[in-house]
Amino acid sequence: MASEANNPALRSWIEVETNSHFPIQNLPFGICRSPAGGDLHVCSAIGEFVIDLAALDEVGAFDDTPVAGTEVFHEPTLNAFMALGREAWSATRQALSQLLRDDCDELRDNTELCGRALQPANEIELQLPVDVGDYTDFYSSREHATNVGTLFRGADNALLPNWLHLPVGYHGRSSSIVVSGAPVRRPQGQTRPDDKQPPVFGTSNMVDFELEMGFFVGPGNVLGKPVPVGEAEEHIFGMVLVNDWSARDIQKWEYQPLGPFLAKNFATTVSPWVVTLDALEPFRCRGPEQEPRPLAYLQCNDGAFDIALEVWLTPDGATATRICESNFRYLYWSMAQQLAHHTVGGCNLRTGDLLASGTISGQTNGSRGSLLELAWRGEEPLSLDSGEQRSSVQDGDTVTLTGWCQGDGYRIGFGECSGQLLTAH
């Protein structure tokens, strides 16, 4: 079913620009509220329109799929739909694809239904798509880990002994995950700017972004029963862009010996559209060669996807500057390896859990996925098109992440993951 919906020759009766992130081959899932208000519903996107799946479900559009009779599209989050599993996700996407094809008039010629089910995207309020239970942030980019290790420990000790043997990660804070467009407050906490003096309390002066991607867990696993790496993707509903904001000065003081705390728990921004693995399948590729070879429970092939990534920084009232170009395929540890490692000790993942990649950096200076790296810890401030310089995110700055897979005449995109930094309380 996925391969039919992925046909690059498909066209919709809804006009879609060539560079749109949401052609008929994508059909991501999200949560929206209609312009008139009312309940939240599950939705999809095509071109410049949002599709209310609850409205389509009410007229039997999904009666031949596993979602029939479940009313999951009337839920205020994607969780109930995600729990149904990959067969339901694929069948829903296939049914939606059929309705939107240029040779299908079932929806196109039903003016009343089109009025209820299709709304201009600029009139729709998109919400956080998932009720996130637990959030895990990995550290899976070798280039990023090497850059950060070099900055803080020197080039000879950049990668710690465990890094090439397992996907390093830590548990983050799910309550402060926000959807794109929500403002972010500059955090406060303890720092120790002078190693010879006691720590001080105050506002962070080194707020940073982190270019990441994350995936949501669909069906979970039973406590004590690990998920084999070869079955891991059956538990992955889809992917989003992630900006895991960081306060570097707070992090430097607090992270030893247990890791980030206040430096990371004040905000994490995610994009509103969840792109399924089915839609991404044509862009699957091999990731970096893994040497030494991972232990048996982590061995898998072709777990990467060719997803071009960009970061734009916009000072308040000024023009935007593209400050980073990277790619998801650079990650050393794949999503399947991350999920398998997360559960190998018996941990039970649950529907709606978010697992993020960690900062995605490449080998060139322009592909570094954080300001810490781009400005090399402040030694090489970044010049913006506005004439300003940045070593950290300033109040009023808006950071925007975007990403897409480039097909033959179409893109499978993620939209934007954007947030503006506000002054501290």
pLDDT at 256: 87
In terms of C-beta density within 10 A (0-12 exposed, 13-18 middle, 19 or more buried), how is residue 118 classed? middle
Query: What is the rounded CA–CA span in Å between residue 303 and residue 37?
Result: 41
User: What are residue 81's phi and psi, to 5 degrees?
Assistant: -65, -45
Could you tell me which of 323, 312, 309 has the C-alpha nearest to residue 366? Answer: 323
Contact 316, 397 (CB under 8 A): yes
Could you tell me which of 21, 77, 10, 22 has the C-alpha nearest to residue 51? Answer: 22
Residues 257-311 pLDDT 10s: 888 899 999 999 999 999 999 999 999 999 999 999 999 999 998 899 999 999 9
> Which residues does the annotation mark as catalytic?
144
pLDDT at 60: 97
Q: What is the DSSP letter of 337?
A: H
The pLDDT tens digits along the chain (425 residues) read 457 999 999 999 999 999 999 999 999 999 998 777 789 999 999 999 999 999 999 999 999 999 999 999 999 999 999 999 999 999 999 999 999 999 999 999 999 999 999 999 999 999 999 999 999 999 999 999 999 999 989 999 999 999 999 999 999 999 999 999 999 999 999 999 999 999 999 999 999 999 999 999 999 999 999 999 999 999 999 999 999 999 999 999 999 888 889 999 999 999 999 999 999 999 999 999 999 999 999 999 889 999 999 999 999 999 999 999 999 999 999 999 999 999 999 999 999 999 999 999 999 999 999 999 999 999 999 999 999 999 999 999 999 999 999 999 999 999 999 999 999 98
Q: What is the DSSP letter of 273?
A: P
Domains, the chain, ordered by start: 2-126 (2.30.30.230), 135-422 (3.90.850.10)
User: What are residue 242's phi and psi, to 5 degrees?
Assistant: -135, 130
Contact 234, 339 (CB under 8 A): no
Task: Name the H helices within 210-270.
Answer: 248-254
CA quadruple 178, 182, 185, 191: dihedral sign? positive
Residue count of the chain, please give it: 425
Q: Cβ contacts of residue 307 below 8 Å, gap of 6+?
A: 213, 280, 283, 327, 328, 329, 403, 404, 405, 414
CA quadruple 334, 152, 390, 209: dihedral sign? positive
Query: What is the rounded CA–CA span in Å between residue 229 and residue 218?
Result: 16
